[in-house]
Structures are given as structure tokens and as C-alpha cells.
């Protein structure tokens, strides 16, 4: 075989090996992790996010949830009230649901009857309630990050958020870092 052809074949084999190594590195850089953005404050969408998160965590997938904008209302504790709010912040506090059990449905809310009907159906079908899903999520080690910027814009305070074992406040950079190292990313 011609020396030039042999050199070209060796060079191609070297490049193939380097590409295989880089592909392995890329595959290994992603964790068995789900990064989930929860934007919607609709009960059915928060419910879907929690079902997916709890299901993934039950399958030993690390789950990191990022609640932002309207979804933060689901994390408000109905018993807690923050002090020192300005007028706009107080208005947001009045207009936004106080907790996951006050969320409306995205479709067929029917003046508040829709969520009651869904909750009754869930109970009848032995589907965990949102309260139970959050409790299960805490037990499974699901991380919940609340968007600090969204809280600031809406005048929400840390003092009015639920007690949750792995709750923290973060910015979009934290979510992007989590998403970058996750095999799966979802936006609800």
C-alpha cells in the first residue's frame, strides 16, 4: 500500500477515535436529572408538573423544579402573611391565589367549580392531592427553586412561602446551569 494512503488511513482512524472520545465525554456530561420550569399558575398545569416530577423522582431521577411568575402562587402558604409590602405588592398579594389549593383550572374553571370537581374526581380515582404530591416530592428529595426576580416583580416575600424541605430562591442562571447538566428539560 502506498505510504501516503497509509498515513491518510492512520490520520482518519485517529480522528475517528478522537470523535468517539468526545461523544463519550458529551454523553457523560449529562446527569440522570430532570430540570423543570413551572411557569403556569393553573391548577391542572401545576398538577401535571408535580405528577411528572414525583414520577421521575420515584424512578431515581434527580428532579430540580424552577417555579417562576404565576406558578409561584402555588407555593404561597395560606396561613402566612408578609409585612412591609408596598401598595402594588399588596395588590398582587390580593389578586394571586394563596396556595396550591386556590389555583384555578386553565380550562373549564366554571366560576371555581372546576377545581372542586377535579379534586373530587382525583379522590375518587385514588390520585394523590396536590398537598400529598408536594409532601411526596419533599420525601423524594425534589429540589424546588423559586425565581427571585419574579418574586420581586410581584412583590412576594419569602415569609409567605410554604415550608418545604428543599426550597431555595434562585435566578435564571441557576436554572440554566441545572438544565445544562440535565438529560431532560421541561417547560410547563
pLDDT at 18: 84
CA distances in angstroms from 103 to 37, 106, 123, 137, listed in the order given = 18, 9, 17, 19
pLDDT at 26: 63
pLDDT digit string, tens, across residues 139-152: 999 999 999 999 99
pLDDT at 25: 63
Sorted by where each begins, the domain ranges of the chain are: 31-187
Cβ atoms 182, 37 nearer than 8 A: no
Interatomic CA distance for residues 159 and 177, integer angstroms: 27
31-187 homologous superfamily: DsrEFH-like (3.40.1260.10)
| Residues lower than pLDDT 50 in the chain | none
Amino acid at each position: 500500500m502506498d505510504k501516503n494512503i497509509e498515513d491518510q488511513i492512520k490520520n482518519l482512524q485517529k480522528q475517528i477515535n478522537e470523535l468517539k472520545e468526545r461523544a463519550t465525554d458529551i454523553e457523560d456530561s449529562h446527569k440522570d436529572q430532570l430540570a423543570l420550569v413551572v411557569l403556569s399558575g393553573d391548577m391542572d398545569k401545576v398538577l401535571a408538573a408535580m405528577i411528572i416530577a414525583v414520577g421521575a423522582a420515584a424512578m431515581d431521577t434527580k428532579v430540580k423544579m424552577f417555579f417562576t411568575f404565576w406558578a409561584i402562587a402555588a407555593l404561597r402558604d395560606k396561613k402566612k402573611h408578609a409585612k412591609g409590602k408596598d401598595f402594588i405588592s399588596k395588590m398582587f398579594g390580593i389578586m394571586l391565589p394563596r396556595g396550591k389549593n386556590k389555583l384555578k383550572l386553565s380550562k373549564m374553571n366554571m366560576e371555581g367549580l372546576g377545581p372542586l370537581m377535579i379534586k373530587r374526581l382525583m379522590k375518587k380515582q385514588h390520585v394523590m392531592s396536590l398537598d400529598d404530591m408536594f409532601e411526596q416530592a419533599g420525601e423524594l428529595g425534589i429540589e424546588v427553586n423559586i425565581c427571585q426576580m419574579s418574586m420581586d416583580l410581584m412583590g412576594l416575600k419569602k415569609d409567605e412561602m410554604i415550608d418545604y424541605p428543599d426550597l431555595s430562591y434562585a435566578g435564571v442562571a441557576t436554572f440554566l446551569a441545572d438544565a445544562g447538566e440535565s438529560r431532560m428539560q421541561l417547560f410547563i
